Amino acid sequence: MRVFKGKRTTVYQLNSGKFALDGGAMFGVVPKVLWNRLIPSDDLNRIPMATHPLLVKTPKGWVLIESGLGTGWDEKFHKIYDVAEEDPFMDTPIGRDEVSLIVQTHLHFDHAGELSTPDGLFRYNAPVVVQNMEWADARFPHERSRASYVQERLNAIEGKLRLVSGTAEVWDGIYVAKTGGHTRGHQIVLIRDLDRLFVFTGDLLPTQHHSPLPYVMGYDLFPEEMLFARKYWYDLFIREKALLFTPHDRIPFAGEMYIDERGKHRLREITPDGD
Ligand SMILES: [Zn+2]
């Protein structure tokens, strides 16, 4: 667990399980000769990934930004995704009961799986913020999105939701903004402190290696929309010197965006203020 401090808020970067996904699908139209240099694949063409939710301490209470992959997955699932389960609340200063609000970028299993137990029990006592459109699409998936939404786990959050549309302040200083691209209702989460802007990028920027604009995932349902969303948000990230938290780096990552001498968007790693 890594700690980042603002004047009013403290951000804990958690570990909620490791897994692996097909490298080609993760890098879309980028050829393997290029992406394999950034993240080498295993003999099944999978690249190592993980899930890193944020636990945010604010003057008003504790907010969880995503829950991650979590635990309790079956054997078949372990095999396909090379899962190594981790309990995100292992070494946190609080337990799940003290979380007052949960904010999800979207509801794919690697982002929302931990919210519930395998037999469909909600693990928290807090509302879950998600885009209205994301909830509807999660509950009525189509052939291409079905494998990403695990209905048995989603059953547990029915009735616990706080549905939003577009951009909204969901907690003092914590905002969500719908980006689309990955899913129709995908959103990012912005935490505005007095001296710092923290951003949980969700799948707008899945790993530190995805920062170049065309490095859009094959998993994205609307890749062109994702490109346009990135153009808008990247400008803001640079202008505001935002501290960006990526969800899926195998080793947890936080960094600031800049444009290099060749005009490419890159990330400069920022070291945590503590462990
Ligand atoms: Zn993801």
Cα of 203 from ligand 1 centre, angstroms: 5
Alpha-carbon torsion angle 91, 95, 96, 99, nearest 10? -110
What distance in Å separates the CA atoms of residue 214 and residue 180, rounded to the nearest whole number? 16
Cα of 108 from ligand 1 centre, angstroms: 7
Cα of 247 from ligand 1 centre, angstroms: 7
Asked if the structure places residue 70 within a domain, the reply is yes
Asked if the structure places residue 32 within a domain, the reply is yes
Predicted local distance difference test score (pLDDT) of residue 22: 97
pTM of the model: 0.97
What distance in Å separates the CA atoms of residue 259 and residue 18, rounded to the nearest whole number? 30
Asked if the structure places residue 112 within a domain, the reply is yes
> Domain tally for the chain?
1
Instruction: Dump pLDDT digits (tens) for 17-60.
Output: 999 999 999 999 999 999 999 999 999 999 999 999 999 999 99
Asked if the structure places residue 274 within a domain, the reply is no
Instruction: Dump pLDDT digits (tens) for 100-146.
Output: 999 999 999 999 999 999 888 999 999 999 999 999 999 999 999 99
Asked if the structure places residue 67 within a domain, the reply is yes
Contact in structure between 133 and 105 (CB atoms under 8 Å): no
The two tokens of residue 251 are 């080793």
Asked if the structure places residue 214 within a domain, the reply is yes
Which domain covers residue 26, as residue numbers?
A: 2-269
Instruction: Dump pLDDT digits (tens) for 181-190.
Output: 999 999 999 9
3-state SS assignment for residue 146? helix
Under DSSP, the state recorded for 116 is: B
- Opening angle at CA 21, ends 260 and 104, nearest 5: 75
Cα of 220 from ligand 1 centre, angstroms: 10
Asked if the structure places residue 275 within a domain, the reply is no
Asked if the structure places residue 48 within a domain, the reply is yes
Domain CATH number, residue 81: 3.60.15.10
